[in-house]
């Protein structure tokens, strides 16, 4: 499907967007609003800096499974260590019993 001329012009403007920001004495900078919009990032989002030659690429970090811990509340208490060991033993004894 071909892009319309108008959407291609908008896409091209995004690709060719260039801006600057100033580094503070603490080594901090503000990411310009257009860049934040383009990356779909907001406060507390994590960023990845990728170094290639003399260029640095900035992209949103992909959430790890560790970051998802506790997101889904089941209402159940987590199993104890003893319950996990018993379940593992039951599983493997059933799997490998002859």
Average pLDDT over the chain reads 81
Residue 6 has pLDDT above 70, yes or no: no
Model-wide pTM > 0.85: no
User: How wide is the angle at C-alpha 71 spanned by C-alphas 57 and 65, nearest 5°?
Assistant: 45
Classify residue 59 by its DSSP letter. E
Q: What is the pLDDT of residues 15-58, one digit of tens each?
A: 566 788 999 999 999 999 988 988 889 998 889 899 999 988 88
Average pLDDT in the 67-93 region? 83
The Cα-based distances of 10 to 6, 7, 15, 16, 17 in angstroms read: 6, 5, 9, 10, 11
């Amino acid at each position: 499907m071909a892009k319309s001329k108008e959407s291609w012009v908008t896409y091209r403007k995004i690709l060719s967007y260039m801006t600057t920001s100033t580094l503070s004495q603490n080594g901090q900078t503000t990411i310009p609003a257009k860049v934040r919009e383009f990356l779909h990032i907001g406060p507390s989002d994590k960023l990845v800096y990728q170094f290639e030659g003399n260029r640095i690429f900035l992209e949103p970090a992909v959430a790890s499974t560790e970051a998802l811990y506790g997101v889904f509340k089941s209402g159940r208490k987590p199993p104890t260590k003893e319950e996990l060991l018993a379940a593992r033993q039951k599983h493997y004894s059933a799997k490998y019993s002859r």
